Amino acid sequence: MSSPELLQRQDPEVARLIEEEQERQRTTLQLIASENFASRAVMEATGSVLTNKYAEGYPSRRYYGGNQIIDQVETLAIERCKQLFGAPYANVQPHAGANANAGAYLALLEPRDRVLAMRLDQGGHLTHGSPVNFSGQIYDFISYGVRESDPNREWLDLDQMHQLALEQRPKLIVIGATAYSRIIEVDPVREIADEVGALVLFDAAHVAGLIAAGVYPNPLFTRSGGRGADVVTFTTHKTLRGPRGAAIIAHEDLGKSLDKAIFPGLQGGPLEHAIAAKAVAFGEAMDPDFRQYGQRVVDNARVLADSLSAEGFRIVSGGTDVHLMLVDLRDFDAELDGRTAQVRLDRSGITCNRNQIPFDPRSPFVTSGLRLGTAAMTTAGMSTDQMKTVASLISRVLRTDDDQTCQEVRREVADLCRSFPPPSER
């Protein structure tokens, strides 16, 4: 899927950059856990004439005329989202995951209210109370983390969460993470929240597609079918394989507050072309094939983690239940840091990101680890056999700072990727 001819004629500079990025994606391994390949249908909806329409408000409650069709588009996205996740309520307008979280906080909290959330350097997110983020500047965040010692080293420390909740009496407990490879069960968190009178928000940005596929428990509900998280926020472009954007699902009693928080509280006009693409992605995720895709993503992640472990890397928390893993580089090479590894792998056609590991002695700009994900490569059609190959390639690159090795691996990566093109290339 090359740049359209009109764009090539009208703005060859932009067209050239798009072509170069497309070439990068088709010839390199995409192992960034927050990325995926959207389908042609999703991209067509994103680039549709719906981008021309202003539609402040909600279906049947707009501040502009001419929204008869737009209302149908957004209503379709809402209904598909509710059906996909079994949710009583959905808002599909958030432009990004950070906006979804900001809207949820605006609906549930007052400034300086106390919130429990996961530490950024142990798997959390900027919007979970980082002091450089709006969340940490407006609300009073207290951080919990993972276990430092056995049993269950580097697994979520529910005992610590419970103790902090009893001491701090938060109004909200945030769970969900961007760099944590184990399933987070909502049931014990719901019990803690009920004990101290707190609400629960689950940030499902990374695992939304796995929830839709049925390979990760739906956090809106407990295992017995009771009320789990009060609100669930998620992005649509990671494991869900949709356009860049986000959504909120929740129980019905919070719907009006959440709607008001997103518009007019936080955002103006919704991006209806992106909302149409979200509707497409929700529809794709309801196909039985998507359930198989979700299972393949997890299977690939487990095999990649096991294969890297066999190469001498340490996998944080001992493995993975999801689409990502954190790799501790220190057992492999005590001198190798995440920044150096990321650059060396990039030169070799393997795209990933450096990441702090729990209790990391290095700064977030350097780190001792890498975060790897399998969602995009699974979308491209790779299976467990290819994951073993990828682990071997990573090991070869990181065993030496030799440019010849990087170039050899880059050629092998390009050969591998030719057999597994992104959906837009098929």
With left for phi above 0 and alpha for psi between -120 and 50, is residue 317 left, alpha or beta? left
Annotated binding residue 364: yes
Catalytic residue check, 54: yes
Catalytic residue among 171, 238, 278, 302: 238
Per-residue pLDDT of the chain (426 residues; tens, 9 = 90+): 556 789 999 999 999 999 999 999 999 999 999 999 999 999 999 999 999 999 999 999 999 999 999 999 999 999 999 999 999 999 999 999 999 999 999 999 999 999 999 999 999 999 999 999 999 999 999 999 999 998 889 999 999 999 999 999 999 999 999 999 999 999 999 999 999 999 999 999 999 999 999 999 999 999 999 999 999 999 999 999 999 999 999 999 999 999 999 999 999 999 999 999 999 999 999 999 999 999 999 999 999 999 999 999 999 999 999 999 999 999 999 999 999 999 999 999 999 999 999 999 999 999 999 999 999 999 999 999 999 999 999 999 999 989 999 999 999 999 999 999 998 877
**Annotated active-site residue in 35, 44, 54, 333:** 54
Q: What confidence score (pLDDT) does residue 151 get?
A: 82
Residue 298 CB partners (closer than 8 Å, separation 6+)? 210, 215, 320, 321, 322, 323
421 Cβ contact partners less than 8 Å away, ≥ 6 residues apart: 26, 380
89 is catalytic: no
Of residues 121, 154, 157, 203, which has the active-site annotation?
203
Catalytic residue among 46, 127, 178, 235: 235
Domain ranges of the chain: 45-286, 295-425
CATH number of the domain located at residue range(s) 45-286 in this protein: 3.40.640.10
Does the annotation list 252 as a binding residue? yes
120 is in an annotated binding site: yes
Res 3: pLDDT: 61
365 is in an annotated binding site: yes
Predicted pLDDT of residue 425 = 79
Whether 235 is catalytic is yes
Spatial CA neighbour of 84 closest among 258, 278, 298: 278
Within 286-383, residue ranges assigned H as helices are 288-310, 338-347, 375-379
Superfamily of domain 295-425: Aspartate Aminotransferase, domain 1 (3.90.1150.10)
pLDDT, position 4: 74
**Which residues have a Cβ under 8 Å from the Cβ of 114 and sit 6 or more positions away?**
139, 140, 141, 142, 168, 169, 170, 171
